[in-house]
Amino acid sequence: MEKERDPLNLKGLPLVSPPQDDWPVIQAALLQQSKRRRVARLAASTLAIAATVALAVGLFIHTPMPTQVVEPGVSAQSGVNTVESLIALSQQLESQLRMARSELGGMPTDALIYQVELEDMVAQVDEELSLNPDSLKLWSHRINLLLDLDQLYQNQLRRDYQRMASL
């Protein structure tokens, strides 16, 4: 008969039940933290959108819409200068957007949706401008959309810089 070997007398130790499982507590804490982050992101996004809309509305309201009264013998040169200045501003914003895009790696999905929507709206305005290139209203609308896009990029760049700074 062969005896079982237990040199450390482990079989003589009392049985101990494992400690309580803490996973439900940890999971609840993680979910709560995730909800707080989601709410904070939603609030920040809502605030950014509201600020962008307020800025766009403010610029649209304060953009002078000259009424062209053409008297006999007087040219409508001032209206042309206004369209040219709006075109120049539009080109300046486009170059600013190109720089912002080159600095920005990628956009999160929620911001990407707004970006695509804004770019689609700019394309629609461009189509209308191809039919009516002297429309002050269309150029103003295009500039406001480009300002919204710029604000979206600037907000994302700010978030990225804050993340890097917190590392």
Question: What are the residue ranges spanned by the domains of the chain?
Answer: 78-166
Model pLDDT, residue 122: 92
pLDDT at 113: 82
By the 8 A CB rule, do 86 and 139 touch? yes
- Please give the backbone phi and psi of residue 110, each rounded to the nearest 5 degrees, phi first: -65, -40
- From CA 32, how far away is CA 22, in angstroms rounded? 16
CA distances 53 to 42, 56, 118, 154, Å, are 16, 5, 12, 15
Enter the pTM of the model.
Answer: 0.49
Q: What is the mean pLDDT of residues 19-43?
A: 88
Average pLDDT, the chain: 78
* C-alpha to C-alpha distance for 44 and 66, rounded to whole angstroms: 37
Mind listing the pLDDT tens digit for each residue in 46-98? 888 877 777 777 766 654 444 333 333 334 444 456 888 888 888 998 988 88
